[in-house]
Amino acid sequence: MSMSQGQGRNRHGLIRSPQNLAAGLSLLFLAGLALWLTRDLPQGRLSAMGPGMLPDWLAYGVGLCGLALLAAAFLKDGEPLEAWSLRGPFFVVLAILAFAVTIRPFSLGPVNLPGLGMIVAGPLAIVIGGYAAPEARFRQLLVLALGLTPFCMVLFGDLLNLPIPIFPQSLAGLLPDTWSQKTILRGLAAILVAAAVLVHLSGGRRKTGPIDVATQPEEV
């Protein structure tokens, strides 16, 4: 055990695990932010869930995890705070805000954004949130976004029948009237999956040059 680890354990002050304290406060903040952003969404019932039920219950779960970490911070010895950057929390919060202001029409003073639906808000939030990891690469995030979004579209809009905006309503006016909302949803989901496969295949394989045997370590 290193000296820093030894110093981080067996604390006898009021806060016995500063790392758990910071994590608990962060989760409580995220839960509160999610509940505030979804406050206008109808809850519905279990038999007919509204668009606000799932994100609200997820927010309650995140909040309970935050409370558990807070309790552990005062009851159990843990690690001290380490040096950390604001990169992760910044991009996660930015992704949540981007999703909230693009999935439905949003107005704030002179700013007016049209509702773009999940087909735009989903990939946007996934790509932005992915940059919370320092090793994130745009093409990999794009493949993930184009592959995960149609799954969410079919799950929430088709199978669960949740009234979540899937695509811009202006798009529906450009398509034949005989096409139903679910037909359009399934067609767009198939297009996104095809796009994910094309982007993935367009990356190609890494070029591997010949191995220089002169630089190989000597055998013992």
Which of 82, 103, 124 is where one domain is finished? 82
Q: Are residue 109 and residue 200 in the same domain, yes or no?
A: yes
Name the residue with higher pLDDT: 83 or 131: 131
Mean pLDDT computed over 167-183: 78
Tell me whether residue 214 is in a domain.
no
Q: Are residue 104 and residue 169 in the same domain, yes or no?
A: yes
Tell me whether residue 10 is in a domain.
no
Nearest to 76 by CA among 23, 141, 18: 18
- Is residue 218 very low, low, confident or very high in pLDDT (cuts 50, 70, 90)? very low
pLDDT at 208 over 70: no
CB atoms within 10 A of CB 192: 21
Q: Are residue 67 and residue 107 in the same domain, yes or no?
A: no
pLDDT at 9 over 90: no
pLDDT given for residue 1 in this prediction: 42
Strands, E assignment, 13-133: 106-108, 111-113
Name the residue with higher pLDDT: 9 or 203: 203
pLDDT given for residue 48 in this prediction: 72
Q: Are residue 57 and residue 96 in the same domain, yes or no?
A: no
SS3 34: helix
pLDDT given for residue 64 in this prediction: 94
pLDDT at 125 over 90: yes
Mean pLDDT computed over 38-59: 78
pLDDT given for residue 68 in this prediction: 94
With pLDDT > 90 as the criterion, what percentage of the chain qualifies? Answer: 28
Quick check: 196 and 147 in contact, CB under 8 A?
Answer: yes
Name the residue with higher pLDDT: 108 or 135: 135
Mean pLDDT computed over 166-187: 80
pLDDT at 70 over 80: yes
pLDDT given for residue 111 in this prediction: 80
- Is residue 87 very low, low, confident or very high in pLDDT (cuts 50, 70, 90)? confident
Nearest to 143 by CA among 204, 95, 99, 198: 198
Nearest to 44 by CA among 145, 156, 138: 156
With pLDDT > 70 as the criterion, what percentage of the chain qualifies? Answer: 86
Q: Are residue 132 and residue 153 in the same domain, yes or no?
A: yes
Which of 49, 65, 82 is where one domain is finished? 82
Q: Are residue 19 and residue 51 in the same domain, yes or no?
A: yes
pLDDT given for residue 212 in this prediction: 52
pLDDT given for residue 146 in this prediction: 93
Domain of 146 in residue numbering reads as: 85-204
- Is residue 10 very low, low, confident or very high in pLDDT (cuts 50, 70, 90)? low
